Amino acid sequence: MVDLDWKAKMVSSDISNKSSKLSIPTPFRLLNMSSPLSTSASASSAYEHYLRLPELRMLWEAKEFPDWQNEVVLKPALHALETTFRFISIVLSDPRPYSNRREWTRRLESLATSQIELIAMICEDENEDKTTAGTAPIVDLTSSNGVLARECSSTEVWKVHGETTVVNRTSESSLLPRLATWQKSEDVAEKILYSIECEMRRCPYTLGLGEPNLSGKPNLDYDAVCRPNELHAVKKSPYDHVDNHENATLYTVHQILEAWIQTAKQVLKRIVSRIDAGNFETAANDGYLTEKIWKLLSEIEDLHLLMDPDDFLRLKSQLMIKSVNETEAFCFRSKGLVEITKMSKELKHKVPFILGVEVDPKGGPRIQEAAMKLYAEKEEGNKVFLVQALQAIEGALKRFFYGYKQVLVVVMGSLEAKGNRVVTSSDSGDSLSQIFLEPTYFPSLDAAKTFLGEFWSRGQDGSGLTRWMKK
């Protein structure tokens, strides 16, 4: 399936402790870094068919509310959360006595909480952006004066703060309210509902999934935005006939993964547009949101570690999952993952614009010097936040691929993960290693911090740096 040389050779360095020069190890310098993100078209097509991604993309990209710009960002995130509710039902309904139901429950609770945190960040950003504030489809529950609509049987009326009437509406199509009434999942659902209450406290509205809503906020019209019935219509894979309980697990995990990849793609597009418009503060917020999405993708991939080894390897054979060549990573069969990886890397081209300088055609340190002034002067905080966020994205991206490599080895075994080849060379030339071992995407920012660190380590009083900045 994947050719991984995860036992990369230990590189020794002859650099003395007194030297401040860094050298790139020769084996890594010779690697072909041009295009590690590649896979066969047939493998990608089979992956998309298995997950029914064309149908899911139609749901993600459907514009039901033209005036609501945040729809394309929030909708796939809500789909991922709703799919997680279905995943909880699958896990708690698993009849296998050897399933680690206790750890599965903990992991899915944690996954749901992480997703709710990111959804809250998206909603908070919507309130801060004047162009998007007030455009979300909400249900203002305070306007009914405590009168229940006949067609809305899931509405509750109660009072807070004396005579204040609050009408709390719960989604009629989501699985979460149903999980709250099922004995096996009641405690899990309650924890998720309280997580929604806590994470959405800074948002202009709440999700309307049955959370307490103690502040009496308007509810998002969840059923109209998420359309849970349409989402759950694609809950079965084309290979649902395969007799293996891990089939539903694998299918559901990757549907959640792809939904967040779709959200990441939209956020990355928004980062570029906000940088181009000079909105560095909001672009920085999106940068840290993207970093958290990369971390969430790692958390989702880690769910493979809880799958039963024998059942999963049997499923791998049943689905005929195998490597096409010795250097192809299975994760690159996801076109969306390849796309957001490239988009994250391409953010490096925005650094000169952020710093207000042009690239020196002669290769001079113009960008590095501008970055040093930005860090030292501390007068343009929004720009500092933004370039820090861009480097945070790089770190999270590389950690994702490093972690994915380890997960793959644990789940399938090291030999199988290497594509059934015996590695005789010490060179770590697989595509995953190329990604997390390649040089920084932001060499000028890296050089600026290296210089400033060296300056302060020499015990300077700052006067020399001040004189240099005034030049």
DSSP 155-180: EEEEEETTTEEEEEE--SS-SHHHHT
Three-state DSSP state, 45: helix
d(CA 471, CA 460): 18
To the nearest whole percent, how much of the chain has pLDDT over 90? 65
d(CA 131, CA 110): 33
DSSP 371-391: HHHHHHH---HHHHHHHHHHH
Our CA angle for 80, 85, 90, nearest 5°, is 115
* Angular region, 129: left φ>0, alpha ψ -120 to 50, beta rest: beta
8 Å CB contact between 289 and 121: yes
pLDDT in tens, 230-240: 999 999 999 99
d(CA 208, CA 219): 5
Q: In the 8-state DSSP scheme, what is residue 206?
A: B
Domain locations in the chain as residue ranges: 37-52+241-421+428-470, 63-235
pLDDT in tens, 142-193: 544 444 444 444 555 555 555 555 566 789 999 999 999 999 999 999 999 9
pLDDT in tens, 345-390: 999 999 999 999 998 888 788 999 999 999 999 899 999 999 999 9
Model pTM score: 0.87
For residue 206, list its beta bridge partners: 219
Average pLDDT, the chain: 84
CB atoms within 10 A of CB 277: 10
Q: What is the CA radius of gyration of the chain?
A: 25
Strand ranges, E, within 178-238: 219-220
Q: Tell me, which fold does domain 37-52+241-421+428-470 have in CATH?
A: Methane Monooxygenase Hydroxylase; Chain G, domain 1 (1.20.58)
d(CA 296, CA 258): 12
8 Å CB contact between 204 and 74: no
pLDDT along the chain (471 residues), means of 10: 34 37 36 57 92 97 92 97 98 96 97 98 84 80 48 51 63 96 96 96 94 90 96 94 96 98 98 96 97 98 97 94 70 93 96 94 88 92 97 97 93 72 50 87 94 80 58 57
Strand ranges, E, within 57-145: 138-139
d(CA 319, CA 242): 8
413 Cβ contact list (under 8 Å, min separation 6):
none
pLDDT at 5: 36
**One-letter amino acid for residue 383 of the chain:** K
**One-letter amino acid for residue 272 of the chain:** V
Tokens of 137: 């489809």
84 Cβ contact list (under 8 Å, min separation 6):
108, 111, 112, 115, 256
pLDDT at 436: 86
Three-state DSSP state, 429: coil
406 Cβ contact list (under 8 Å, min separation 6):
6
Q: How many C-alpha atoms does 355 have within 13 Å on its Cβ side?
A: 26
- Alpha carbon 61 to chain centroid distance? 18
Tokens of 425: 């060379």
Kindly give the pairing relationship between strand 138-139 and strand 164-169: unpaired
